[in-house]
């Protein structure tokens, strides 16, 4: 057992009322079937939350019909990495439920509720604290975007805009530095995000008291920086979202961009190869547990052909670029928050 007792506490909240209302014996309500039924309840909740999130994030002028939205929700609800755990007494379904619920409340501006739901998600899985931080980051990103648009408007009135990724990056850094130096700006952000900050302090207290983020079997959960995990995430997402992320047009655009900024991509490729070379790890469960697909992928591909992990680097880079390109409608600050949180939740493993 390496997670906090959130699932068990929720189970008690379902089992005890069943004993009182229906008069069932503890042997019946605490059976394997009934305990797994708790996750089926979470799976129904996840379906509804995904539907509500679709309604919230889709612009009104591009809103899909109800049937399209339901089908999109169903596609995510039966996603293999979530769906198969709905029938087992694992933490995945509950963890996803509270994370989605927290984000939904954040989008509606109910930040106290969002922080409380983030705490519930943390009780299911410690790394969910990162997505509570992301909810706070979403609030901060909104304020930064508003201030950035105002700043750009002022500059465009005085000077013509200067284009280029490095110039834009430098401007954003200067803007963030100036914004963070204002006590008024920081006080506004604090008033909006204090529930998340309080949750962050509670998490820090847990880490100090517990002596680390891991509970239970620490010998099998030693921390490392596993940078290729980010590459695996990009390729996994590209594979399962290929209708949106992979097309001849996207490949052509990517190749054109590579040629235009070939020095940048050459450096990115070298760094990626180095990260694959020095930071590829294989957990002993991955090597021993043949119940998982990754066991066979690792055994029959990566272990058999050492060169494969290097040959896949261009595909990793394309996948990462394609995901970032698909999120360009979001503000630069939302993307910054998202990719930072994604990095923190995936790479330190």
What sign does the CA torsion over 36, 41, 44, 46 have? negative
Per-residue model confidence as pLDDT tens digits over 26-63: 777 788 888 899 999 999 999 999 999 988 887 665 55
Provide the pLDDT for residue 124: 94
Reported pTM: 0.88
Provide the pLDDT for residue 47: 95
Provide the pLDDT for residue 313: 96
Cα angle vertex 328, ends 144, 231, to 5°?
105
Provide the pLDDT for residue 231: 95
Provide the pLDDT for residue 58: 78
pLDDT tens, N- to C-terminus, the chain (349 residues):
677 899 999 988 888 887 788 777 777 778 888 889 999 999 999 999 999 998 888 766 555 577 888 888 999 998 888 888 888 899 999 999 999 999 999 999 999 999 999 999 999 999 999 999 999 999 999 999 998 888 777 765 554 555 666 777 788 888 889 888 889 999 999 999 999 999 999 999 999 998 888 887 777 777 789 999 999 999 999 999 998 899 999 999 999 999 999 999 999 999 999 999 999 888 887 888 787 788 888 888 888 888 999 999 999 999 999 999 999 989 999 999 999 999 999 998 8
Cβ within 8 Å of residue 186, ≥6 positions away: 180
CA–CA separation, 61 vs 179, rounded Å?
33
Q: Where are the alpha helices (DSSP H) in the chain?
A: 6-22, 26-29, 32-57, 66-77, 80-83, 92-107, 111-124, 129-158, 165-180, 183-210, 228-240, 242-245, 248-260, 262-279, 284-288, 293-297, 308-311, 313-326, 332-346
């Amino acid at each position: 057992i390496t997670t906090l007792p959130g699932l068990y506490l929720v189970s008690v909240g379902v089992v005890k009322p069943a004993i009182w209302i229906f008069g069932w014996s503890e042997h019946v309500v605490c059976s394997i079937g009934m305990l797994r039924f708790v996750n089926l309840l979470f799976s129904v909740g996840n379906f509804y939350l995904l539907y509500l999130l679709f309604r919230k994030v889709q612009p009104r002028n591009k809103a899909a019909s109800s049937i399209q939205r339901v089908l999109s929700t169903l596609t995510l609800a039966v996603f293999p990495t979530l769906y198969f755990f709905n029938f087992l007494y694992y933490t995945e379904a509950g963890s996803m439920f509270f994370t989605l619920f927290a984000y939904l409340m954040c989008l509606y501006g109910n930040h106290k509720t969002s922080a409380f739901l983030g705490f519930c998600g943390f009780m299911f899985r410690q790394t969910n604290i990162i997505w509570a931080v992301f909810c706070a980051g979403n609030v901060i990103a909104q304020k930064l975007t508003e201030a950035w648009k105002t700043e750009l408007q002022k500059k465009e009135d005085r000077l013509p805009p200067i284009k280029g990724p490095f110039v834009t990056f430098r401007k954003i850094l200067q803007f963030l530095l100036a914004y963070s130096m204002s006590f008024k700006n920081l006080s506004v952000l604090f008033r909006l995000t204090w529930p998340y900050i309080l949750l962050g302090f509670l998490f820090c207290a847990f880490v100090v008291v517990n002596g680390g983020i891991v509970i239970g079997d620490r010998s099998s959960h030693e921390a490392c920086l596993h940078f290729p995990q980010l590459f695996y995430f990009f390729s996994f997402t590209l594979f399962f979202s290929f209708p949106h992320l992979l097309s001849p047009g996207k490949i052509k655009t990517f190749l054109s961009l590579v040629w235009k900024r070939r020095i940048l991509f050459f450096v990115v490729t070298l760094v990626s190869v180095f990260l694959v070379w020095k930071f590829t790890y294989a957990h002993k469960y991955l090597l021993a547990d043949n119940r998982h697909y990754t066991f066979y992928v690792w055994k029959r591909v990566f272990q058999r052909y050492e060169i494969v992990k290097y040959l896949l680097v261009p595909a990793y880079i394309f996948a990462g670029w394609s995901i970032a390109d698909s999120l360009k409608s979001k503000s630069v600050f939302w993307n910054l928050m998202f990719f930072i949180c994604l990095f923190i939740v995936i790479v330190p493993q």
